[in-house]
Protein backbone atom coordinates (compact mmCIF):
# COMPACT_ATOMS: atom_id res chain seq x y z
CA UNK A 1 0.00 0.00 0.00
CA UNK A 2 1.35 3.40 -1.02
CA UNK A 3 -0.18 6.70 0.11
CA UNK A 4 -0.06 9.87 -1.97
CA UNK A 5 -0.06 8.28 -5.43
CA UNK A 6 -1.79 11.13 -7.28
CA UNK A 7 1.62 12.48 -8.32
CA UNK A 8 5.27 12.65 -7.36
CA UNK A 9 7.22 9.81 -5.80
CA UNK A 10 4.13 7.83 -4.83
CA UNK A 11 2.87 7.82 -8.42
CA UNK A 12 6.26 6.79 -9.81
CA UNK A 13 6.70 4.10 -7.17
CA UNK A 14 3.27 2.57 -7.80
CA UNK A 15 4.08 2.22 -11.51
CA UNK A 16 7.56 0.84 -10.81
CA UNK A 17 6.37 -1.78 -8.33
CA UNK A 18 3.52 -2.80 -10.63
CA UNK A 19 5.99 -3.41 -13.43
CA UNK A 20 8.15 -5.45 -11.04
CA UNK A 21 5.22 -7.77 -10.40
CA UNK A 22 3.94 -6.52 -7.05
CA UNK A 23 0.28 -6.25 -6.18
CA UNK A 24 -0.05 -2.51 -5.53
CA UNK A 25 -2.75 -0.62 -3.66
CA UNK A 26 -2.31 2.98 -4.77
CA UNK A 27 -3.93 5.45 -2.39
CA UNK A 28 -5.01 8.68 -4.07
CA UNK A 29 -6.54 11.78 -2.54
CA UNK A 30 -8.42 12.41 -5.78
CA UNK A 31 -9.33 9.04 -7.36
CA UNK A 32 -10.94 10.86 -10.28
CA UNK A 33 -7.87 13.00 -11.01
CA UNK A 34 -5.39 12.72 -13.86
CA UNK A 35 -2.79 10.84 -11.82
CA UNK A 36 -5.27 8.26 -10.59
CA UNK A 37 -6.66 7.78 -14.10
CA UNK A 38 -3.17 7.06 -15.41
CA UNK A 39 -2.68 4.45 -12.69
CA UNK A 40 -6.03 2.89 -13.59
CA UNK A 41 -4.95 2.62 -17.22
CA UNK A 42 -1.87 0.74 -16.08
CA UNK A 43 -4.06 -1.55 -13.99
CA UNK A 44 -5.93 -2.80 -17.07
CA UNK A 45 -2.67 -4.29 -18.33
CA UNK A 46 -1.67 -6.01 -15.12
CA UNK A 47 -4.32 -8.62 -14.29
CA UNK A 48 -5.73 -6.52 -11.48
CA UNK A 49 -2.42 -6.19 -9.65
CA UNK A 50 -2.72 -2.40 -9.35
CA UNK A 51 -5.75 -1.10 -7.52
CA UNK A 52 -6.47 2.60 -7.12
CA UNK A 53 -8.37 3.61 -4.00
CA UNK A 54 -9.46 6.83 -2.37
CA UNK A 55 -7.21 7.48 0.61
CA UNK A 56 -7.15 10.72 2.57
CA UNK A 57 -4.71 9.93 5.37
CA UNK A 58 -6.37 12.52 7.63
CA UNK A 59 -9.64 10.55 7.61
CA UNK A 60 -9.78 7.46 9.83
CA UNK A 61 -12.62 5.97 7.79
CA UNK A 62 -10.56 6.20 4.60
CA UNK A 63 -7.69 4.37 6.29
CA UNK A 64 -10.06 1.70 7.62
CA UNK A 65 -11.62 1.26 4.17
CA UNK A 66 -8.14 0.88 2.67
CA UNK A 67 -7.33 -1.83 5.18
CA UNK A 68 -10.56 -3.68 4.39
CA UNK A 69 -9.80 -3.49 0.66
CA UNK A 70 -6.30 -4.85 1.19
CA UNK A 71 -7.60 -7.70 3.34
CA UNK A 72 -10.26 -8.63 0.78
CA UNK A 73 -7.72 -8.73 -2.07
CA UNK A 74 -4.67 -9.97 -0.20
CA UNK A 75 -2.33 -12.04 -2.37
CA UNK A 76 -1.36 -15.52 -1.23
CA UNK A 77 2.04 -14.34 0.01
CA UNK A 78 0.43 -11.74 2.25
CA UNK A 79 1.05 -8.06 2.96
CA UNK A 80 4.64 -7.01 2.43
CA UNK A 81 4.98 -3.24 2.48
CA UNK A 82 3.46 0.04 3.61
CA UNK A 83 4.87 3.23 2.07
CA UNK A 84 3.88 6.42 3.90
CA UNK A 85 4.49 8.88 1.11
CA UNK A 86 1.59 11.37 1.25
CA UNK A 87 2.67 14.89 2.15
CA UNK A 88 2.16 18.60 1.54
CA UNK A 89 4.48 21.61 1.61
CA UNK A 90 4.23 25.37 1.82
CA UNK A 91 6.38 28.44 2.38
CA UNK A 92 6.14 31.12 5.02
CA UNK A 93 7.83 32.57 8.08
CA UNK A 94 6.43 31.41 11.40
CA UNK A 95 4.09 34.34 12.06
CA UNK A 96 2.75 34.36 8.51
CA UNK A 97 0.96 31.02 8.89
CA UNK A 98 -2.33 30.43 10.69
CA UNK A 99 -2.87 27.89 13.44
CA UNK A 100 -5.26 26.09 11.10
CA UNK A 101 -2.41 25.62 8.61
CA UNK A 102 -0.12 24.22 11.30
CA UNK A 103 -2.83 21.75 12.29
CA UNK A 104 -3.40 20.71 8.68
CA UNK A 105 0.30 20.07 8.07
CA UNK A 106 0.66 18.07 11.25
CA UNK A 107 -2.41 16.02 10.33
CA UNK A 108 -1.23 15.18 6.80
CA UNK A 109 2.55 14.88 7.14
CA UNK A 110 2.81 13.45 10.64
CA UNK A 111 -0.46 12.10 12.03
CA UNK A 112 -1.50 10.78 8.61
CA UNK A 113 1.56 8.53 8.49
CA UNK A 114 1.03 7.43 12.09
CA UNK A 115 -2.68 6.80 11.50
CA UNK A 116 -1.96 4.57 8.50
CA UNK A 117 0.90 2.77 10.23
CA UNK A 118 -1.15 1.90 13.29
CA UNK A 119 -3.92 0.45 11.11
CA UNK A 120 -1.55 -1.84 9.20
CA UNK A 121 0.86 -2.85 11.99
CA UNK A 122 -0.96 -6.16 12.71
CA UNK A 123 -0.59 -7.24 9.07
CA UNK A 124 3.02 -6.10 8.90
CA UNK A 125 3.91 -8.01 12.06
CA UNK A 126 2.13 -11.12 10.77
CA UNK A 127 4.02 -11.17 7.47
CA UNK A 128 7.29 -9.60 8.72
CA UNK A 129 7.00 -6.83 6.16
CA UNK A 130 8.51 -3.41 5.54
CA UNK A 131 7.42 0.14 6.45
CA UNK A 132 8.87 3.02 4.43
CA UNK A 133 8.46 6.66 5.42
CA UNK A 134 9.06 9.70 3.24
CA UNK A 135 11.10 12.24 5.15
CA UNK A 136 13.44 14.93 3.78
CA UNK A 137 16.83 16.49 4.41
CA UNK A 138 14.76 19.48 5.54
CA UNK A 139 14.24 17.54 8.79
CA UNK A 140 17.71 18.82 9.74
CA UNK A 141 17.22 22.53 9.01
CA UNK A 142 14.69 25.12 7.86
CA UNK A 143 15.01 27.83 5.22
CA UNK A 144 11.67 29.58 5.02
CA UNK A 145 9.56 26.45 5.40
CA UNK A 146 9.77 25.64 9.08
CA UNK A 147 6.25 24.17 9.06
CA UNK A 148 7.38 21.43 6.65
CA UNK A 149 10.67 20.92 8.47
CA UNK A 150 8.82 20.52 11.76
CA UNK A 151 6.68 17.66 10.48
CA UNK A 152 9.63 15.84 8.90
CA UNK A 153 11.74 16.11 12.05
CA UNK A 154 8.83 14.67 14.04
CA UNK A 155 8.30 11.75 11.65
CA UNK A 156 12.02 10.91 11.91
CA UNK A 157 11.75 10.51 15.68
CA UNK A 158 8.58 8.43 15.31
CA UNK A 159 10.41 6.16 12.87
CA UNK A 160 13.41 5.80 15.19
CA UNK A 161 11.18 4.54 17.98
CA UNK A 162 9.17 2.30 15.65
CA UNK A 163 12.26 0.78 14.02
CA UNK A 164 13.64 -0.40 17.37
CA UNK A 165 10.27 -1.72 18.53
CA UNK A 166 9.58 -3.66 15.32
CA UNK A 167 12.92 -5.50 15.20
CA UNK A 168 11.63 -8.23 17.51
CA UNK A 169 8.84 -8.93 14.99
CA UNK A 170 11.14 -9.02 11.97
CA UNK A 171 9.59 -5.82 10.54
CA UNK A 172 12.04 -3.42 8.88
CA UNK A 173 11.45 0.35 9.07
CA UNK A 174 13.18 2.63 6.55
CA UNK A 175 13.33 6.39 6.07
CA UNK A 176 13.80 8.08 2.69
CA UNK A 177 15.46 11.51 2.86
CA UNK A 178 15.34 13.26 -0.52
CA UNK A 179 17.08 16.52 -1.20
CA UNK A 180 15.48 19.16 -3.41
CA UNK A 181 13.24 17.35 -5.90
CA UNK A 182 10.66 20.11 -6.19
CA UNK A 183 10.65 20.01 -9.99
CA UNK A 184 10.00 16.27 -9.94
CA UNK A 185 7.25 16.05 -7.34
CA UNK A 186 5.50 19.44 -7.76
CA UNK A 187 4.78 19.20 -4.01
CA UNK A 188 5.48 22.92 -3.72
CA UNK A 189 4.15 25.28 -6.41
CA UNK A 190 5.95 28.60 -7.03
CA UNK A 191 5.35 31.12 -4.26
CA UNK A 192 3.27 34.25 -4.95
CA UNK A 193 4.38 37.23 -2.85
CA UNK A 194 1.05 38.94 -3.57
CA UNK A 195 -0.94 36.01 -2.17
CA UNK A 196 1.26 35.84 0.92
CA UNK A 197 0.84 39.56 1.55
CA UNK A 198 -2.93 39.40 1.13
CA UNK A 199 -3.17 36.58 3.67
CA UNK A 200 -1.11 38.37 6.33
CA UNK A 201 -2.86 39.84 9.36
CA UNK A 202 -2.61 43.54 10.12
CA UNK A 203 -0.08 42.94 12.91
CA UNK A 204 2.24 41.08 10.53
CA UNK A 205 1.83 43.75 7.84
CA UNK A 206 2.91 46.32 10.43
CA UNK A 207 6.17 44.43 10.96
CA UNK A 208 7.00 43.37 7.39
CA UNK A 209 6.63 45.17 4.07
CA UNK A 210 5.83 44.00 0.56
CA UNK A 211 9.44 44.32 -0.53
CA UNK A 212 10.61 41.91 2.15
CA UNK A 213 7.88 39.40 1.32
CA UNK A 214 8.85 39.64 -2.36
CA UNK A 215 12.52 39.03 -1.51
CA UNK A 216 11.65 35.95 0.54
CA UNK A 217 9.37 34.65 -2.22
CA UNK A 218 12.08 35.16 -4.84
CA UNK A 219 14.58 33.34 -2.62
CA UNK A 220 12.29 30.37 -2.13
CA UNK A 221 11.30 30.22 -5.80
CA UNK A 222 14.97 30.17 -6.78
CA UNK A 223 15.45 27.11 -4.55
CA UNK A 224 12.45 25.41 -6.17
CA UNK A 225 13.81 26.08 -9.65
CA UNK A 226 17.10 24.36 -8.74
CA UNK A 227 15.35 21.13 -7.74
CA UNK A 228 16.14 17.91 -9.56
CA UNK A 229 13.60 16.61 -12.06
CA UNK A 230 14.92 13.03 -11.85
CA UNK A 231 12.51 11.52 -9.35
CA UNK A 232 13.55 8.00 -10.35
CA UNK A 233 16.64 8.38 -8.12
CA UNK A 234 14.39 8.57 -5.07
CA UNK A 235 12.17 5.76 -6.34
CA UNK A 236 15.29 3.58 -6.69
CA UNK A 237 15.93 4.08 -2.97
CA UNK A 238 12.31 3.30 -2.10
CA UNK A 239 12.45 0.08 -4.12
CA UNK A 240 15.68 -0.92 -2.40
CA UNK A 241 14.07 -0.28 0.99
CA UNK A 242 11.26 -2.64 0.02
CA UNK A 243 13.28 -5.35 -1.76
CA UNK A 244 16.80 -5.46 -0.33
CA UNK A 245 17.56 -8.41 1.99
CA UNK A 246 19.32 -5.88 4.25
CA UNK A 247 17.72 -2.45 3.75
CA UNK A 248 19.24 0.70 5.23
CA UNK A 249 17.58 2.51 8.10
CA UNK A 250 18.00 5.78 6.16
CA UNK A 251 18.42 6.53 2.46
CA UNK A 252 19.65 10.06 1.81
CA UNK A 253 19.19 10.89 -1.87
CA UNK A 254 20.67 14.35 -2.31
CA UNK A 255 23.34 16.41 -4.02
CA UNK A 256 26.78 16.64 -2.43
CA UNK A 257 26.25 20.22 -1.22
CA UNK A 258 22.93 19.20 0.35
CA UNK A 259 24.60 16.33 2.17
CA UNK A 260 27.33 18.70 3.34
CA UNK A 261 24.70 21.04 4.78
CA UNK A 262 23.03 18.14 6.60
CA UNK A 263 26.44 17.15 7.99
CA UNK A 264 27.01 20.66 9.32
CA UNK A 265 23.52 20.87 10.84
CA UNK A 266 23.78 17.45 12.47
CA UNK A 267 27.27 17.70 13.96
CA UNK A 268 28.27 21.35 14.40
CA UNK A 269 27.29 23.60 17.33
CA UNK A 270 24.05 25.52 16.96
CA UNK A 271 25.86 28.87 16.75
CA UNK A 272 27.73 27.61 13.65
CA UNK A 273 24.57 26.22 12.05
CA UNK A 274 22.70 29.47 12.68
CA UNK A 275 25.54 31.45 11.08
CA UNK A 276 25.53 29.24 7.98
CA UNK A 277 21.75 29.37 7.53
CA UNK A 278 21.59 33.11 8.25
CA UNK A 279 24.20 33.67 5.57
CA UNK A 280 22.22 31.58 3.09
CA UNK A 281 19.07 33.56 3.85
CA UNK A 282 20.90 36.88 3.49
CA UNK A 283 22.05 35.88 -0.01
148, 181, 208, 251: the catalytic one is 148
Q: How far apart are the first and last CA of the chain?
A: 42
Helix, strand and coil in the chain, % to nearest 5: 60, 10, 30
Return the HEC string of 188-221.
CCCCCHHHHHHHCCHHHHHHCCHHHHHHHHHHHH
Closest CA to 139 of 189, 95, 179: 179
Yes or no: say if 188 and 177 are a contact pair by the CB < 8 Å rule.
no
Yes or no: say if 252 and 264 are a contact pair by the CB < 8 Å rule.
no
Please say if 148 is a catalytic residue: yes
Closest CA to 249 of 134, 160, 158: 160
Closest CA to 124 of 74, 86, 160: 74
- Non-local CB neighbours of 150 within 8 Å, separated by 6+ positions: 105, 106, 142
Q: Could you give the count of Cα atoms lying within 13 Å of 87 in the half-sphere of its Cβ?
A: 28
Write out the catalytic residue numbers: 148
Amino acid sequence: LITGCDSGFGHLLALRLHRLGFTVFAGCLCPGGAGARRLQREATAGAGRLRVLRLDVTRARDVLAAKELVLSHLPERGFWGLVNNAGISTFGETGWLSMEKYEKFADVNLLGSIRTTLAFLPLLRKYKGRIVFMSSIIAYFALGNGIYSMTKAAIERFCDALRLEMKKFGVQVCIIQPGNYARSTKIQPPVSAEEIWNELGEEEKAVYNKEYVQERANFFNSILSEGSSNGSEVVDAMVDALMSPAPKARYMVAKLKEKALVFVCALFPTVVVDSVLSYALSK
